[in-house]
Chain A
């Protein structure tokens, strides 16, 4: 209708452009929110493990990978929808994370951070390689019955699967926050994060709390992986990319609370969505901008946007 009006009245071209750019801006905002929340899911487990255990888990990307391939396997072999199968994926990843922490990382938890850095890097190599052996290095994607469908408001398009993923990401953030604040176990995790030795004196089994925390971190990574494989084609080389992004997101948002991951995810999503649209820059600079942003945040506000001392 609008197009017709413009054709008949060439003088009114300006409002037409304004209309289009308004819709474009709305679409950019929607894309940003959807992507940003998804990134929050990517970083949530990473942020938890870092905040509580002071471990930068370089195997985070490998857990995302395992989650993605579990969802892929369940979908192609057992015909389980990736979103419905999410609890199962998370349970499997929880067990994997629990075992990794109990068997390996707990042994060097008091060593300086370089050691855990290297250990998780080794685990990342190992897990990613096993995934590649099992599933080959081909790109995989999931096509559900509702892939490609979405809500359409005028020119505004919101894909169902992305919307669902964003909602689940926000739900997971809220659930983690509530779990940490409202339950006894959650409080024990927080207490361990604040002061390991004091927590032990209060009767908390540190090794179990660490295994639980790492398991939760892996489960959240698995959830992110299951949602990612539903949205984007996936291959085993991508684990490292997501570890790096989780890094940046957590730094941007700050270590304080699960909501820091959401804030960081939104900032990172903003950089990735908006920067390529700026005149004179074009696509491809998004990661460079994100890393530059991260370095600036580190120097001028090392605690991140929502950062506090610990999970509280």
Chain B
């Protein structure tokens, strides 16, 4: 099922060919990995200049953008690389938020809460992954969704942290700029981790699982443990983001930090950018969140319609994601082609990609 998502060439490398040793299996982002890495680092370096603007609203917007960039990138570890689409990753966000909130209420420093949240999320991902990662496709998506929804309800009923699960925290001792750089660091760490996965043996193992789990198992990859590892890997940064968000927002309740919308947004950003790519989640987090904030500001009555319409149009016309489209457009062509021929050929390829997904 996931095979069709990516270029067929990646799956065909699994078959033994005479020249296979000279041509190592590479993920989609592999061919342009140094450039992707450089572009991503430049984008993040530019993002670090945002606090210089001194505008509180801009800083707020970009703090959320970096948070979503971190969330989408950590979703990418499991959903993009391994091909297991979780629709309940907000569970770990909530775990991080509640660990931080409850420990701050108990009089502990906030960094302890954030770390405790990350450890708790990692443990929970391991324990939940044991049964849930035996499921595939829709069923895995639904099971994770169910876990997040049930937890949201339990937290509210158990009155964790306050009536109805509402947590009120004291004003943070950190400035907004400090929070911005904490989220920035998190986004950077996720980006570097993605870059590592795109060019390392564990990352190749995850991609092999996505392309064909049976083949990967037959090749000697302990697929089950790799999947659990990827689940833990995607849970920990999500919980860190949740913990930071909790302290930053100074108050939250179960519907906010266990919102299905956040789970969907992680999936959305990754898929729009290009699942399993290095740059995709980062770029689409910035573009899409900016667009989303623009809709919110310009006319709140149409906010959801415009968002829905954007999602529909983008998924219909570029189902393989922004990065995939750009790569398809700029794929090396036969030498000696004029610029005009190049453009025509690129457009033709893009149209072919669009047409390939229809009935």
Using a CB–CB cutoff of 8 Å, the interface residues on chain A facing chain B are 50, 56, 104, 106-115, 117-119, 121-130, 132-133, 206-207, 210, 240, 244, 247-248, 251, 284-285, 287-288, 291-292, 294-295, 298-299, 302
Contact = CB atoms under 8 A, between A and B. Distances in A.
B319 A115 contact: yes
Nearest to B5: A112
Given A119-B311, A122-B309, A210-B359, A295 B157 contact: no
A128 B304 contact: yes
Interface in B120-147: 131-132, 134-135, 137-139, 141-143, 145-147
Contacts of B198: none
B135 A299 contact: yes
Interface residues of B, number: 52
Contacts of A112: 1-2, 4-5
B154 A110 contact: no
B310 interface: yes
B132 A119 contact: no
A235 to B, nearest CB: 15
Contacts of A127: 308
Given A108-B315, A118-B267, A298 B143 contact: yes
B304 to A, nearest CB: 4
Most buried by A among B150, B301, B310: B150
A240 B263 CA distance: 14
Contacts of A56: 138, 141-142
A125 B307 contact: yes
Nearest to B317: A107
A107 B358 contact: yes
Interface string B44-64: 000000000000000000000
A124 B305 CA distance: 9
Interface string B280-316: 0000000000000000000001111101111110011
A294 B304 contact: no
B4 to A, nearest CB: 6
A298 B133 CA distance: 11
B84 to A, nearest CB: 11
Contact of B312 (A122, A130, A287): A122
Given A251-B142, A298-B139, A125 B304 contact: yes
A188 B157 CA distance: 48
B271 interface: yes
Interface string B177-200: 000000000000000000000000
A126 B305 contact: yes
Nearest to B87: A117
A113 B135 contact: no
B103 interface: no
Given A114-B267, A115-B315, A124-B308, A288 B150 contact: yes
Nearest to B357: A111
Given A251-B142, A299-B131, 18 more contacts: A108-B319, A108-B357, A110-B357, A112-B2, A114-B5, A114-B267, A115-B271, A117-B141, A118-B268, A121-B311, A124-B308, A133-B305, A244-B145, A244-B260, A288-B153, A288-B154, A295-B150, A302-B139
A291 B258 CA distance: 15
A114 B142 contact: no
B358 A106 contact: yes
B305 A291 contact: no
Contact of A295 (B85, B146, B264, B271): B146
B350 to A, nearest CB: 14
Contacts of A122: 307-312, 315
A129 B315 contact: no
Nearest to B2: A112
Contacts of A130: 305
Interface of B: 1-2, 4-5, 79, 85, 131-132, 134-135, 137-139, 141-143, 145-147, 149-150, 153-154, 156-157, 260, 264, 267-268, 271-272, 275, 301-305, 307-312, 315-316, 319-320, 354, 356-359
Chain A residues touching B, majority SS: helix
A291 B308 contact: no
Contacts of B145: 244, 247
A222 to B, nearest CB: 19
B267 A104 contact: no
A291 B319 contact: no
A112 to B, nearest CB: 5
Those 8 A-B pairs whose CB atoms lie nearest each other, nearest first: A122-B311, A125-B308, A126-B308, A129-B304, A291-B150, A291-B146, A122-B312, A111-B357
A210 B358 CA distance: 12
Given A104-B316, A248-B146, A295-B132, A114 B359 contact: no
B307 A109 contact: no
Nearest to A208: B359
Nearest to B260: A240
Nearest to B301: A133
Contacts of B310: 122
Contact of B305 (A106, A117, A129): A129
A110 B358 contact: yes
A299 B132 contact: yes
Contacts of A114: 5, 79, 85, 267, 271, 275
A257 to B, nearest CB: 18
A288 B154 CA distance: 7
18 contacts: A104-B312, A104-B316, A107-B316, A108-B357, A112-B4, A115-B315, A121-B311, A122-B309, A122-B315, A129-B304, A129-B305, A251-B139, A251-B142, A288-B154, A288-B157, A291-B147, A291-B153, A294-B142
A118 B271 contact: yes
Contacts of B267: 114, 117-118
Contacts of B356: 110
A93 B324 CA distance: 36
Contact of A298 (B142, B156, B354): B142
A106 B355 CA distance: 11
